[in-house]
Amino acid sequence: MDYPHADPFGAHPLEQCPVSSDRNVYDSVLDLLPSEDNPSPMVRLGRANPWRETFPLYAKLEWQNPFGSVKDRAAWALLRKLEEADELSADRGVVAPTSGSTGLRLAAIAAARGYPMKSVVPNKVPLEKKVLLKMLGAELEVVNDNLCPSPGMGEGSIGLAKTFAKAQRNKWVMPNQYENEENTLAHVRTTGPELWRQTEGKVTHVFLRLGTCGTVSGLSRALKERNPEIKIVAATPTEGHDVPGLRSRSELGVSKLFDERQADEIIEIDHELAYERALELMRTEGLLAGPSSGLIFEAARIVAERQSAAESPDVPYFGVMIFCDNAFKYVSSFIKHRPELAENTTA
Amino acid sequence: MSEYAHPETLVTTDWVAEHLNDPKIKLIEVDVDTKAYDAGHIPGAVGFNWQTQLQDQTTRDIVSKDDFEALVGGAGVSPGDTVVLYGDNHNWFAAYAFWLFKLYGHEDVRLINGGRSKWLDEDDKELTQEVSSVTPTAYTAKPADLALRARLQDVLKIVESGGVNLVDVRSPDEFTGKVIAPPGMTETAQRGGHVPGAVSVPWAKAVAEDGTFKSADELRGLYLDAAGVAEAKPTVAYCRIGERSSHTWFVLKYLLGIDNVRNYDGSWTEYGSVVGVPIETGEPARAVR
């Protein structure tokens, strides 16, 4: 297949309205996926950044991707890999353990392609995400994970997804997003080159969060190859957090993609601040930031303040924050952490 | 390098694969969430549900002798069989079942080293959804061996008089009292903290990254040297609901060979809720982190 976005079941572009990215007319939602030529947008922070004169910060808005998250990239790469290996059909679908974000994108892409999808999610995943998975046609298996923190070992949802893939080989195949190299390569191929081109190579700091760690490993690889001086700063929530999709230090062992050396600095942040900073981004910048973006913003603030107080650098600072997804799916999490948001909402 | 005290109580996944058709070997998967068993299990294994089948459903207690006999007989097990247990959550619930089988006097009980997740990760091991065919037996258990079990009054005596190693196997935050239970758990207690005098050795310290047990030397270093568990004294292990402590109980009794080890199955959900009993909070004097 020359054109990877083409419908494998044979639909043709409509002649009446020729596809043209210049006019934003596309043949498939998959054509909207980000790439070096179609990067997710970057927006400079204004009032929210008190150090904007010395340490400008830009937010790369991954929620502008067609399925609304940084995970669009990994999901597409994982599914393409399975397609290339001829693993998928209308009868044999994808089973994936997920905290929601990758699963949603896999479900959307599987729906666009016509493959069945089964998602195994931990119970703590917000209701919105669970229901969205079902809305996209995925079967849902909910696992009571988190019985006890068990550093370095697989969670129940990973085990159950593996079980389906093993016991029902003819029905399901599992793209293991926690181990699969494609997760990293998606960022080596797209996010890294995009960011480099968008900043004209001037980026000095990248701020991101640690989840399955594909972003940190892929961006670190892609950017350090271009300029080894670029600092990768990872934000991680404190233990016992409930910031969906993120991992604290002790939870990181689950991801085989993670290698501490990929980040120049890991900043542990009180998870309550994730919500506070996200609200600040909404109220001072109009950015509909989800809690993980709040966490990343706090890490960026810490570094911007510290570096602004230090001696002037040889090269001007240029920070880019990878904002993974927006606030819409996390309204109930916001209410839990800031109960006053729900006050006076009825007549 | 020293050996485990009772190496016969552990079997490898390869050993299990070679004995799948042995009629004297009875495989039992013990899960807290039996979705896993239903989605796929080792060929021939029957599934036990820890919540509904290994505890009394009315009184908070272990399953009664009668119910245990009915359950085990229903799984086609005879007293002379080799029972091989494995399960989800790194064998915690399988270890609890191991403790129950021993408590009710079953001679030959073994754990699959690495449990369900190790079997899953090995490409040459099969899983099936096929219902295992079982011929029920009239299983007769022995009277419960209460020397394997610690009750609240035993623990209170220990707090008062000492002389017993108390091993708290929960996470550091549960031990210090920062949290009462891991997030999202329904079984909690009224207070956070630990039993006075307990040492903290989180259960996961006993296993390698693939879930198999660490070597005898490493385990001795961990429990005897670092945590100061004295072999000559009786030992009681506890956690929140008695399943993680079964895992540590197994390590202390069968891998290290400490003779007098009891599992306090009431654990923190009982101790941390009782009116008027002393508790401690904060960092332990000796901790293995």
CATH no. for residue B121?
A: 3.40.250.10
The whole-angstrom distance between B267's CA and the closest CA on chain A is: 15
The whole-angstrom distance between B116's CA and the closest CA on chain A is: 8
pLDDT-flagged residues of chain A (< 50): 1-3, 147-154, 254
Phi, psi of A96 (to 5 degrees): -140, 135
Q: Is A124 on the interface with B (CB under 8 A)?
A: yes
Among the partner residues A141, A144, A166, nearest to B40 by beta-carbon distance: A166
Q: Does some domain include residue B287? A: no
Q: Which of B30, B31, B32, B33 to mutate to test the interface with A (most CBs of A within 10 A)?
A: B33
Look at residue A154 in the predicted model and tell me its pLDDT: 47
User: What type of residue sits at position B196?
Assistant: P
Which ipTM did the prediction report?
0.83
Q: What architecture is domain A71-173?
A: 3-Layer(aba) Sandwich (3.40)
Q: Could A150 and B90 be called an inter-chain contact, meaning their C-beta atoms sit closer than 8 Å?
A: yes
| Residues near B116 by beta carbon (within 8 Å), at least 6 away in sequence | A159, B29, B31, B36, B86, B87, B88, B91
| Residues near A256 by beta carbon (within 8 Å), at least 6 away in sequence | A178, A179
Q: What architecture is domain A29-66+181-338?
A: 3-Layer(aba) Sandwich (3.40)
Q: Could B36 and A144 be called an inter-chain contact, meaning their C-beta atoms sit closer than 8 Å?
A: no
Q: Could B36 and A166 be called an inter-chain contact, meaning their C-beta atoms sit closer than 8 Å?
A: no
Contact at 8 Å (CB) between A173 and A139? no
Q: Three-class SS of residue A245?
A: coil
Cβ contacts from A onto B, under 8 A: 83
Q: Give the model confidence (pLDDT) of B36-84 as tens digits.
A: 999 999 999 999 999 899 999 999 999 999 999 999 999 999 999 999 9
Query: Which residues of chain B lie closer than 8 angstroms to A143, CB-CB?
Result: 33, 35
Torsion angle defined by CA atoms of residues B151, B156, B159 and B160, in that order, rounded to the nearest 10 degrees: -140
Look at residue A155 in the predicted model and tell me its pLDDT: 61
Q: Could A147 and B40 be called an inter-chain contact, meaning their C-beta atoms sit closer than 8 Å?
A: no
Query: Which residues of chain B lie closer than 8 angstroms to A162, CB-CB?
Result: 120-121
Q: Could A160 and B183 be called an inter-chain contact, meaning their C-beta atoms sit closer than 8 Å?
A: no
Q: Which of B95, B222, B239, B252 is catalytic?
A: B239
Look at residue A206 in the predicted model and tell me its pLDDT: 98
Q: Give me chain B's average pLDDT, please.
A: 94
Look at residue A151 in the predicted model and tell me its pLDDT: 42
A93 C-beta neighbours (distance < 10 Å), count: 24
Look at residue B2 in the predicted model and tell me its pLDDT: 75
Among the partner residues A141, A148, A167, nearest to B35 by beta-carbon distance: A141
Query: Which residues of chain B lie closer than 8 angstroms to A161, CB-CB?
Result: none
Residue in B with minimal Cα distance to A148: B182
Q: 10-residue block means of pLDDT along chain B (289 residues)? A: 91 97 96 89 96 93 97 97 93 96 98 95 94 95 97 96 95 92 82 96 91 96 95 95 94 96 97 96 70
Q: Could A160 and B39 be called an inter-chain contact, meaning their C-beta atoms sit closer than 8 Å?
A: yes
Q: How many domains does one find in chain B?
A: 2
Q: Do residues B93 and B164 share a domain?
A: no
Query: Which residues of chain B lie closer than 8 angstroms to A168, CB-CB?
Result: 39-40, 129
Look at residue A159 in the predicted model and tell me its pLDDT: 87
Measuring CA to CA, which residue among B90, B91, B132 is closest to residue B109?
B91
Q: Do residues B19 and B137 share a domain?
A: yes
What count of residues does chain B have? 289
Q: Does some domain include residue B281? A: no
Residue where one domain finishes, among candidates B100, B118, B145: B145
- Ranges of H-type helices in B188-264: 216-220, 244-250
B261 is an active site residue: no
Look at residue B33 in the predicted model and tell me its pLDDT: 77
Q: Give the model confidence (pLDDT) of B174-195 as tens digits.
A: 999 999 988 767 788 999 999 9
**Bridge partners (DSSP) listed for residue B31:** B49
Q: What is the pTM of this model?
A: 0.79
Q: Do residues B85 and B156 share a domain?
A: no
Q: Could A152 and B209 be called an inter-chain contact, meaning their C-beta atoms sit closer than 8 Å?
A: yes
Phi, psi of B189 (to 5 degrees): -145, 175
Q: Is A143 on the interface with B (CB under 8 A)?
A: yes
Question: Residue B13: which domain range?
Answer: 7-145
Q: Do residues B118 and B85 share a domain?
A: yes
> Within chain A, which residue ranges are assigned CATH 3.40.50.1100?
29-66+181-338, 71-173
Among the partner residues B88, B127, B171, nearest to A167 by beta-carbon distance: B127
Dmax over CA atoms of chain A, in Å, equals 62
Q: Could B32 and A159 be called an inter-chain contact, meaning their C-beta atoms sit closer than 8 Å?
A: no
